[in-house]
Structure 1
Amino acid sequence: MAYIHDLRQKVGHTPLIMTSASGALVEDGRILLQERADTGDWGFPGGYMEYGDTFKQTVVREFLEDAGIAVTPVKLLAIQDDDFYTYPNGDAVQPVNAFYLVERVHDRQQTPKPSETLTTKFFAPTEAPHFFNQQHAKMWQLVVATLAQ
C-alpha cells in the first residue's frame, strides 16, 4: 500500500487508473466475501498492485491480507476495465482488475487485517449481499454464472 499512499500524496484525489487483482474462493458451492472496513459493504478479497508485482502475486498477497487465507490462482475469469469508483475519502479510480478463481493452499488461516476487513463469510449463489461497488456486483454475477455451468 506504500506505493498508492505515496502516489496519492503527490496527486491528491485526482482520478487515477489503478491495476488490481481479486479472487473468488468457492467451497461447497458457496462464495467467500469480505465485509470491508472502509464502507461496511461486501466484496471479493483483493486489492491494488504494488510496483513490480504481477496480477497473480497481487491476488495471493491481497487474499491473505483481506481474508487470512493462503490461495493460489487457478483460472483467470475476467479482466475488468469499465467501472469507476470514488472512495469515501474522495479518491477517484478506474480500477483495471484481474479477477481469478482461486483455491485454498492449506487449512491454516490467519486473522485478516482489521483495517481492511470486518469479517469474512461464505454466501450461497442466491444470497447476494450489498456490494462495495458495481465492479464487485459484476464479479458476483460472473462467479454465479460459472458455477451454473
Structure 2
Amino acid sequence: MDYTKWIRTKVGSEMIILNFAGAIVLDEEGQILLQRRRDKNAWGFPGGAMELGESAEETAIREVKEKTGLTIIIEKLIGVYTKYFDRYPNGDQAQTISFFYQGCITHGELISSNEESIELQFFNPDEVPDLFNQQHTDAFNNFRAQRVGVFR
C-alpha cells in the first residue's frame, strides 16, 4: 500500500504531516552518496516516505535499496527533524518529519537512475553540492559536526 497516495485521495493537496526516513550513506573511502531527485532536479540523500507498519529504520533501509540498488546497515541516528514544510511540484503540501541515519553499504550494485532519480553519485564530504531542502542541509551539517541524536 502506498500510504501517501492513499491519504491524498482523502485530503487532496491540503497540508498534512508526512513521515520520512533517509540515510547518509558512506562508501569505503568515506564518500557520501547523493541522489539527484527527478521531482526537484536537485541533490539530496536517498530516502522516502514511511509506509504503515514500518519503523523509521526499516523505511531508510528500504528506500535506500529502492533508490540506489544498495543494501545498507544503519550505524547511528543522526537526528529527527520535525518543523519543516514543503510544497511539491504537484501542489501537495506537508509538514515533513524526517529521521536521518548514517549507514554503510553491505552489498549491492549502484544503479545509474530510476523513476525517482536522475543520477546517483558519491561525493567527498567537502564537495557536497547544495541540497534540495533545509532538512537535508541540517542533517548534513549535523553529520559533519559529528552530532548524533539531534532533535528539532
Return the TM-score normalized by structure 1.
Answer: 0.90
- Cα distance, 1:112 vs structure 2: 6.7
Could you tell me which runs of 5 or more consecutive residues in structure 2 were left unpaired when the two chains were aligned: 148-152
**What CA distance in whole angstroms lies between the structure 2 residues aligned with 1:64 and 1:112?**
13
Report how many residues are paired: 146
CA distance in 1, matches of 2:30, 2:139: 16
User: Partner residue of 2:35?
Assistant: 34
Structure 2 counterpart of 1:19, which letter? N
Identity %: 36
Deviation at 1:128, TM superposition (A): 2.7
User: CA offset at residue 60 of structure 1?
Assistant: 0.7
Q: Which runs of 4+ in 1 moved over 2 A?
A: 110-113
2:70 paired residue number:
69
User: Distance between the aligned counterparts of 1:48 and 1:86, measured in 2?
Assistant: 15
Compute the displacement of 1:94 (Å): 1.2
The 3-state SS of whatever aligns with 2:130 is coil
The aligned counterpart of 1:136 is 136
Distance in 2 (alpha carbons) for counterparts of 1:144 and 1:134: 15
Per-residue Cα deviation, 1:1-52 (whole angstroms, up to 9, x for no partner): 6211111111111111111111011221321110001111000000110011
2:6 corresponds to = 6
Mark the CA change 1:110 to 1:32 in structure 2 (over 3 Å): closer, same or farther.
closer
Residue 35 of structure 2 aligns to a residue in which SS? strand
- Code of the residue aligned with 1:143 in structure 2: it is F
Q: 2:92 maps to what in 1? A: 91
Q: Distance in 2 between matches of 1:110 and 1:29?
A: 16
Task: Confirm or deny: 8 A CA contact 1:35 1:43 kept in the other structure.
Answer: yes
> Hey, what's the Cα distance between the residues in 1 that align with 2:18 and 2:96?
5
Unpaired runs of at least 5, structure 1: none
CA RMSD between the two structures = 1.7
Mapped partners of 1:110, 1:23: distance in 2 = 15
**Structure 2 length normalisation: TM-score?**
0.89
Displacement of 1:130 in angstroms is 2.7
Q: C-alpha separation between the residues in 2 aligned to 1:34 and 1:126?
A: 17
Distance in 1 separating the partners of 2:112 and 2:49:
16
Would the alpha carbon gap of residues 113 and 8 (structure 1) be closer, same or farther in structure 2, given more than 3 Å must change?
farther
Alignment check: 8 A CA contact 1:43 1:136 kept: yes
| 8 A contact 1:16–1:92 mirrored in 2 | yes
Q: Which residue of 1 aligns with 2:18?
A: 18
Which residue in the other structure is 2:150 paired with?
Answer: none
Contact 2:111 2:120 survives alignment (8 Å): no
